[in-house]
Amino acid sequence: MNTERDSETTFEEDSQPNDEVVPYSDDETEDELEDRERAVEPEQNRVNREAEENREPFKKDCTWQVKANDRNFHEQPHFMNTKFFCIKESKYANNAIRTYKYNAFTFLPMNLFEQFKRAANFYFLVLLILQAIPQITTLAWYTTLVPLLVVLGVTAIKDLVDDVARHKMDNEINNRTCEVIKDSRFKIAKWKEIQVGDVIRLKKNDFIPADILLLSSSEPNSLCYVETAELDGETNLKFKMALEITHQYLQKENSLAAFDGFIECEEPNNRLDKFTGTLFWRNTSFPLDADKILLRGCVIRNTDFCHGLVIFAGADTKIMKNSGKTRFKRTKIDYLMNYMVYTIFVVLILLSAGLAIGHAYWEAQIGNFSWYLYDGEDATPSYRGFLNFWGYIIVLNTLVPISLYVSVEVIRLGQSYFINWDLQMYYPEKDTPAKARTTTLNEQLGQIHYIFSDKTGTLTQNIMTFKKCCINGQIYGDHRDASQNSHSKIEPVDFSWNMYSDGKLVFYDHYLIEQIQSGKEPEVRQFFFLLAVCHTVMVDRLDGQLNYQAASPDEGALVSAARNFGFAFLTRTQNTITISELGTERTYNVLAILDFNSDRKRMSIIVRTPEGNIRLYCKGADTVIYERLHRMNPMKQETQDALDIFASETLRTLCLCYKEIEEKEYEEWNKKFMAASIASTNRDEALDKVYEEIEKDLILLGATAIEDKLQDGVPETISKLAKADIKIWVLTGDKKETAENIGFACELLTEDTTICYGEDISALLHTRMENQRNRSGVYAKFVPQVHEPFFPPGGNRALIITGSWLNEILLEKKTKRSKILKLKFPRTEEERRMRTQSKRRLEAKKEQQQQNFVDLACECSAVICCRVTPKQKAMVVDLVKRYKKAITLAIGDGANDVNMIKTAHIGVGISGQEGMQAVMSSDYSFAQFRYLQRLLLVHGRWSYIRMCKFLRYFFYKNFAFTLVHFWYSFFNGYSAQTAYEDWFITLYNVLYSSLPVLLMGLLDQDVSDKLSLRFPGLYVVGQRDLLFNYRRFFVSLLHGVLTSLILFFIPLGAYLQTVGQDGEAPSDYQSFAVTIASALIITVNFQIGLDTSYWTFVNAFSIFGSIALYFGIMFDFHSAGIHVLFPSAFQFTGTASNALRQPYIWLTIILTVAVCLLPVVAIRFLSMTIWPSESDKIQKHRKQLKGEEQWKRRQNVFRRGVSRRRSAYAFSHQRGYADLISSGRSIRKKRYPLDAVIADGTAEYRRTMES
């Protein structure tokens, strides 16, 4: 049955994924998918398509309309959307950015609503209402109100401070200024006042405030250079160019003010590299694409000014569309803590119900027959039991600690400040400290399983440096003097002899300089001449200094290296290039530029020397160059060995070669070249074919080796995180070879690593799916599921997969409607049912395939996903979250990382060179990747340990405190009588036991920060949830139950038959309450002393100070003076002074405390002696381990003649400026009148047609 196949097909089903292409299928339209398929569609499909198109007009996906200089146009009724009931707003967003949550009017109601969504806060609000009912209240209302107000107030203040910071950041951005045409003049306006359709002027180094159509600029042909670091983390410049018509007409202010163009384009979307639209102006339509659009977040560079028309503003801009949905993040401990609080709720209800039943039974058996207990109410025992149920809910309410949540917030806030204040995470070069941008995720930093990292700007500095080269079989770049003698310590080469040297290159091989200056080997000079002439770099002069603008940092590094070695590229025109060769300027005619693309992996230039000779110079990847070499190349093997050496040092390599061309050969080739250049169809394929004809029989000159500089400490950080059992996945938009090379450079990959690629993974997953399908037969439910590993045990494996393969494997390819003619009558019920079942099967297959992929990838020690889109980055993170239930962290530096950062449990932004977009969306930020090890292994681990200790202790002390009421109930007729004074209940969690536990949660540490970094294995306790889980929770509860048992029954036994020194029995209720309370305070404060690993004066002071504070306040509250002032609130007059002057009472307190604590001391001693943890062992030998271990880079073993892998070639994965250069559009020249330009163009067109 082919119903599904007929109705819906997968795009490019039989095609092989292209490793070089970034898939943008996540947002592609039906039109784009259709355009892709038309090249290969079957004849019958074409006939069907044409029939359908003839029958119904084809509707384009361009529904966004923009009118220049006409704000009223965008406020028409059909552009208005209903927002709320009858309130309408324009579909065109204004340019203001809003990240804050509250304003002055909504703060109080919204914040209270959010806080009361927490179960505990709502519970205490209900409790407060119950305490206001006289029939059931057993405690004064203030015992709940005071702690509740403290909790709500502290949380509200914290939320207010966070939101004020967001307001400030929003205002800073929204109040930036630029020039906007208003009343036919350019006027200064704030960003937030800009609207769609406005014409704006931007100047050099300005940020672009919205997505705008470039109309004109100060550069030739209205070129505009932009830096896209905010978007993709790349600092090399990219160029945009206006339409010729707007370039000619829209240069002056009055013409821009009169501009009334109309644009139809695609709706706002997240595709950074795509744009489709049409400009209608002067009764003519002009196509628009991404090369004419300037995106918000980019910076204008090397362009004095430019003009643009706002297309998308504010939330509709591509950078904001890429930011993904803001998710409310909570930690694993938060979720666990909530479940535990729910467990305590259940325990509380069961205890209250049991005691209420006990009271009803007691009333029926004893209370009704005891005349002295008559209270004037003739209620039935069951009704009294019902009232007592609510009474016990109030009495035992401290089982659910209201102060728990506020204490957690205070601890998290303090830990966030410790991160902010950590000078070892401060980057002085950029004056950038670490910043905890959220206060709710600190302990989760100690539980990370997977890190997802961007490459460019995160692992690397995006700075390329010329390190080594091989010329004529000889390797240069080692530490050598001019006589070829090697030295371990030698001064860098002095380039002062070269007037064009930029002073930035650090090179230690003096022998190469000697070779260049002596000219003994002409190949050496030829080598650097090739670097100076074969490129698409543009040059301008600033203050007399040469300034290069390259399409990629790799190419810029090579041209700068040639400049420093004496071969400086000075200037170029459309047909010439001028080089300074060791001080002598020579100009060469450029006959053709054969530009780079991702398929060719090389570029060439054909020049005519001043002597009249024609030469082709070529540079490219070794894999493609070696295929095109002349068979008589003597230095082929030596250069291959050098390439292997460079590869083992993780340098990016490029082969250089040349060829002499005869005049006749060139003329014949040039005819083919010109014909291909004006081909109306498949022009790129025709040009590539012509290029192939001339790029053969090349003579090899040598190879370059460039270092893609890693940030300091990246390999060491990755090594330590790996030892902490944290897996690192690299997700990058860069090409496969580059990503793989960086993997080796940062030691994520090693020579022993077995690398699996997309095709290998696809085959493995296909086999697994077949096996699973075969097993899912009739007997599947009787066979237990067994997890089968994809790889045999042992061995170090890594996965490198591209975005195209990722879509193929995860069945994420875009589907499209087939163009088969469809009947107009509705389908039958049977067809609908089969279609639904088919969709379910496809969804199940997709889910199973994704599960298998995640299982396979997680068996690898490292995963590198390259050529992936921002949406794919987020998808990979989400897959690991969903199927592995693992805690994830994403780290990046550009706008293309924002979606990933928001999707992960924790997002980290790298601040500094690449802009602030990722930082603004992150939870934590710092300037260098290496600080990640300190954030996780020190702050994260400490925060996790502190929070776990805090929670275990908090539950313990509250159960120990509250369950005394439970034991007391058996001796008071289950009457909900409290065992303590009301004020003691009110202040217990607020004053008497709060400070020590807070300080432990802030300051405690099992081992020092240096030892935490030296022994990353300590980190695994957080990953495995060893310190706080349900088992630990119930152990804490049991500890609290036993403590409460001892606290009640030892004083009870002591009070049964007692006579004081004055001959009176001190066994009254009030003295009993004071005895239990005193023993409780001393016990819980000494218990936290036993739990503390890191003692300071502050800890000791807080413990003994809390005990002293308790006795001081108690004696005050029990004094006669306060009773006179507030007789109804303070009823324990004289109790403390009377009871605590009895030595017997003090002996009872000491005995109670000893029985509570001595078993704990014994168990701790035995566990540390017999079953010590890893941190116990390190703590025991910490003095011997004080010396910090130095990290050593892994040594690579090079074996001559054995090429294990190819290094990445140093080339950008996009076209350079060749088309601009060869067309002359980038060359500054005098502007001619428009009619002269049109006449010129017409004549040229006629000449072309005639030829």
Question: Where in the sequence numbering do the catalytic residues fall?
Answer: 454
Give 481-547 as a DSSP string: -TTS-B-SS-PPP--TT-TT--S-----BHHHHHHHHH-SSHHHHHHHHHHHHSS--EEEEETTEEE
State the maximum Cα–Cα separation within the chain, in Å, rounded to a whole number: 132
Q: How far apart are CA 102 and CA 159, in angstroms?
A: 9
Contacts of residues 1218-1223 at CB distance under 8 Å and 24 or more positions apart, as own/partner, are 1218/536, 1218/593, 1218/594, 1218/595, 1218/596, 1218/603, 1219/595, 1220/223, 1220/239, 1220/538, 1221/536, 1221/538, 1221/572, 1221/574, 1221/590, 1221/593, 1222/574, 1222/590, 1222/592, 1222/593, 1223/574
HSE toward the beta carbon, residue 1095, CA cutoff 13 A: 7
CB 268 within 8 A of CB 64: yes
- For residue 1173, what are the contacts with CB-CB under 8 A and spacing of at least 6? 1021
E strand or H helix that includes residue 728: strand 727-731
SS3 state of residue 695: coil
The gap between the terminal CA atoms of the chain, to the nearest Å, is 58
Phi first, then psi, for residue 1139 (nearest 5°) are: -75, -45
E strand or H helix that includes residue 426: none
Q: How far apart are CA 604 and CA 1233, in angstroms?
A: 36
Q: How far apart are CA 933 and CA 941, in angstroms?
A: 11
Which is it for strands 862-866 and 796-802: parallel, antiparallel or unpaired? parallel
CB 1021 within 8 A of CB 1118: no
Q: How far apart are CA 586 and CA 539, in angstroms?
A: 16
Cα 75 off chain centre by: 38
Phi first, then psi, for residue 607 (nearest 5°) are: -125, 155
CB 1050 within 8 A of CB 1152: yes
Residue from 240, 245, 250, 184 nearest 211 by CA: 240
DSSP 8-state assignment for residue 973: T
Residue from 922, 807, 791 nearest 876 by CA: 807
Q: What pairs with residue 618 in β-bridges?
A: 604, 657
Task: Using the structure block, give the residue that is written with the tokens 């005639």.
Answer: 1250
SS3 state of residue 50: helix
Which is it for strands 906-910 and 924-926: parallel, antiparallel or unpaired? parallel
Q: How far apart are CA 319 and CA 326, in angstroms?
A: 14
